[in-house]
A and B are shown apart, each in its own frame.
Chain A
Amino acid sequence: DIVMTQSPDSLAVSLGERATINCKSSQSVLYSSNNKNYLAWYQQKPGQPPKLLISWASTRESGVPDRFSGSGSGTDFTLTISSLQAEDVAVYYCQQYYNSLPLTFGGGTKVEIK
């Protein structure tokens, strides 16, 4: 199984400041055949299901504000919120879908306002 490790577990950031979340996979999720990283980021607000923010490590989904960005390749990935807004308070999860058996998620990072 590919183990996904997120850090930190939680972080508190002032409004308008940058938030950075890290995700590390135990094996590379870069598929050499198409040079794509099979890594997604989800946002989950209380009482809601996860929402897909970013796929292929850096491709924002339609409607996702451009303050959200994803980067990284291979085994190390980062989700950055460039200017934290109040509505960004949530738990963020990374997920690898390179090896679909099983699909695995990181443990989550809780983002709060300082």
Chain B
Amino acid sequence: EVQLVESGGGLVQPGGSLRLSCAASGFTFSTYWMSWVRQAPGKGLEWLGKIKEDGSEKYYPDSVKGRFTISRDNAKNSLFLQMNSLRDEDTAVYYCARPSGYCGAGYGSCFPFDSWGQGTLVTVSS
């Protein structure tokens, strides 16, 4: 059974940093692109970026580019999200997500997310 378990959320002051982790099990982690998605309270879903199977490629939307960094440790079946210069509007539940197949860059090269973690809540507040 595929399992994704996020951790590392909590209360952080504006301008602060936080590192989230996602522990993966039940599948060959090193063969999947992985993504982070967040959901602000009462709001919709926002994709935060993805990382290639071997970590050699990473992509982010403009909204978080330069502030958020995705990394992975395939030996430990773990995915990470380093968040810097946090703002009030970064308050959200953060999910790691696995596509059902390949999800590279470009057009027609991706699959939808068939596995999600339960999420970890990040609250940015003074």
Contact = CB atoms under 8 A, between A and B. Distances in A.
Interface in B88-126: 95, 99-100, 103-114, 116-119
Contacts of A26: none
What 7 pairs across the A-B complex have the smallest Cβ distances?
Answer: A49-B116, A40-B112, A31-B108, A100-B110, A102-B61, A97-B110, A103-B47
Contacts of A104: 47
Contacts of A107: 44
Contacts, number: 74
Interface residues of A, number: 28
B114 to A, nearest CB: 5
Contacts of A97: 99, 103, 110-112
B112 A55 contact: yes
B117 A100 contact: no
Nearest to B104: A100
Interface of B: 35, 44-47, 50, 59, 61, 95, 99-100, 103-114, 116-119
B107 A99 contact: yes
Secondary structure at the B interface, as helix, strand, loop or mixed, is loop
A80 B13 CA distance: 43
Interface of A: 31, 33-34, 36, 38, 40, 42, 48-52, 55, 61, 93, 95, 97-108
A31 B103 CA distance: 15
Contacts of A52: 100, 112-114
Nearest to A106: B44
Nearest to B62: A102
Contacts of B105: 100-101
Given A49-B119, A50-B116, A103 B44 contact: no
Nearest to A61: B114
Contacts of B106: 99-101
Given A102-B59, A103-B110, 10 more contacts: A31-B107, A49-B95, A49-B119, A52-B113, A52-B114, A95-B45, A95-B113, A100-B104, A105-B47, A108-B44
Given A31-B108, A33-B108, A100-B104, A50 B44 contact: no
